Amino acid sequence: MDEIIDNILSESLEVKLDFFKKNKKQISHVASRIVNAFKQGQKLLIFGNGGSAADAQHLAAEFVNRMLIERPPLPALALSTDTSILTSISNDYSYDEIFTKQIKALGKKGDIALGISTSGRSRNVVDAIKTASKMELFTVSLTGGDGGELASLSHINLNVGLGKNAPRTQETHLVTLHIIAELVDRILFP
């Protein structure tokens, strides 16, 4: 058991170190874009499936409530939380449209759309990023492996290149989201 634990930790650390070495500037840029959007009265729309949906909800909570400091709430919304919306769109249209329809309803030019997909190939995330781009939202994606289709569609793609499996990719995504949230807080509320 100890060897299994050591191997998992070693792999996780290797994936993270590689990712952050390659993506520090991009992460800072994403945080700056979010800060500018919030200052302009814009919002952050975050979405993904499964564990990525949980990450989207986690980041929205960090902004709407707080992370480390007492501060006013910030406008972030996870698009994976309203079961009535999700099930009605899935039933009446297609699961592929669950985020696209919400982007169309809630997104405005200047908002930020952040799509999370460990493969970069989740059809509903890909389609939502395409829609967001057409609506002139700034688009960011968090992906793994080769980045899939999302890598070329987003203004900024933060890709966990060594993330060959979902757990290592998701672990890196969560650290990335925490860093972004803390950077935004430090910039807005020094």
CATH number, domain with residue 67: 3.40.50.10490
Asked if the structure places residue 5 within a domain, the reply is no
The pTM (predicted TM-score) of the whole model is: 0.96
Asked if the structure places residue 20 within a domain, the reply is no
Please report, as a single letter, which amino acid is at residue 158.
L
The 10s digit of each residue's pLDDT in 66-116 is 999 999 999 999 999 999 999 999 999 999 999 999 999 999 999 999 999
The 10s digit of each residue's pLDDT in 149-178 is 999 999 999 999 987 799 999 999 999 999
Percent of the chain with pLDDT over 90: 98
Pairing state between β 44-48 and 76-78: parallel
Asked if the structure places residue 2 within a domain, the reply is no
Q: Which two tokens stand for residue 17?
A: 């170190």
CB 143 within 8 A of CB 125: no
d(CA 131, CA 44): 15
For residue 188, the tally of other CB atoms under 10 A from its CB is: 16
What is the extent of the structural domain holding 123? 27-188
Q: What phi and psi, each to the nearest 5 degrees, are found at residue 138? A: -80, 130
SS3 115: strand
